[in-house]
Amino acid sequence: MKKIILLLVIIFVLCGCSKSVSVTPQEVAEKYKQNFSSSVIAVFGDNRAEMEASKNGMSISVSVNFPAELSGMGIEIFDEHAKIIYEGMEQEIKKDSLPEGTPFLLLEELFDELSDPDEFTLSTENENIIAKGEGFSAVLSPEDFSLVSAKFPLFETEFTFSDFVFKSAE
């Protein structure tokens, strides 16, 4: 009997049985209501972009570093508007005039949904926290809930985050 119990324990350990989530969506949402910044790599279709993204209050800002022809382009999304800045020119447009599924809008959607505890569910996988919402899944660091990666399968877009820093509201 002891051998059977020991065998079952070994199987559970080796199979990496999922553990329950000890964090709540409310705790994660409180973090995403704060200001934050991150380096982001977006892969969408055959394209790749490197950006800096930040949230400051109700505004999301993204600055493109790569590809070279778009380097320096920035976009700020606030309310229902977007301000596009490129080579010294600024243009404010309605946010809904941007093409659906652009990385800028997907980042805004991700940040917005993670700040509302009713918009996502949580689970754990391989020591990470997985947040799933309508149309996306995101991997969060268990230490501080910072974004590690996110996927939007409908738009074939994946994001990888690095240097993610939450900042206190100023």
For residue range 25-36, what is the model confidence (pLDDT) as tens digits?
A: 999 999 999 999
d(CA 166, CA 170): 12
- For 99, the token pair is 């093409």
For residue range 102-149, what is the model confidence (pLDDT) as tens digits?
A: 999 999 999 999 999 999 999 999 889 999 999 999 999 999 999 999
pLDDT value of position 16: 42
Closest CA to 42 of 18, 67, 17: 67
Domain ranges across the chain: 17-165
- For 3, the token pair is 């051998």
Q: The whole model's pTM is what?
A: 0.83
User: Would you give the DSSP letter of residue 67?
Assistant: S
Class at the top of the CATH hierarchy for domain 17-165:
mainly beta
- Measured in whole angstroms, the distance separating CA 143 from the mean position of its chain's CA atoms is 16
Element (H, E) at 101: none
